[in-house]
Amino acid sequence: MVDASTLAALAKQAAETLAPNGASPLLLLCEHAGAEIPAPWAGLGLDPVYLGTHYAYDPGAGLVTRHLSNTLDAAAVLSRYSRIFLDYNRFRDDWDYIRPDLGGIPV
């Protein structure tokens, strides 16, 4: 079981913010930038090879968002945690908000 203080610390680490005071009125979001699984969940029991694949994140999406943020001087928020752990693009009630499997491989 993960205690409340650990959960609070992990929540603060869940996203990276770029150019919060950027001149552009745009806010860029990149929900699948990261492939991290927080330590208390120890890789979710998956073979680490999956953490480097499209199952875990969208390869290149973070780089594109960083480039756009820099070029446009726009604020950006990039997820650090893998969508295998928590899919920021889903509602809490969605079946795949926290995935039960990875293309048939139990998580």
Cα–Cα distance measured from residue 67 to residue 39, given in angstroms and rounded to the nearest whole number: 29
Which residues contact residue 94 at a Cβ distance below 8 angstroms, ignoring those fewer than 6 apart? 87
CATH topology of domain 4-106: Aminopeptidase (3.40.630)
**What does each C-alpha distance from 83 to 11, 72, 79, 94, 98 come to in angstroms?**
15, 27, 9, 13, 8
Cα–Cα distance measured from residue 43 to residue 46, given in angstroms and rounded to the nearest whole number: 6
pTM (whole model) above 0.85: no
- Going from N- to C-terminal start, the domains of the chain cover 4-106
- What pLDDT band is residue 24 in, cutting at 50, 70 and 90? very high
Is 90 exceeded by the pLDDT of residue 7? Answer: no
Strands (DSSP E) contained in 11-69 are 15-18, 27-30
Q: Using DSSP bridges, classify how beta strands 27-30 and 75-79 pair: parallel, antiparallel or unpaired.
A: parallel
Q: What is the pLDDT of residues 51-102, one digit of tens each?
A: 888 889 999 999 999 999 999 999 999 999 998 888 888 888 988 888 877 7
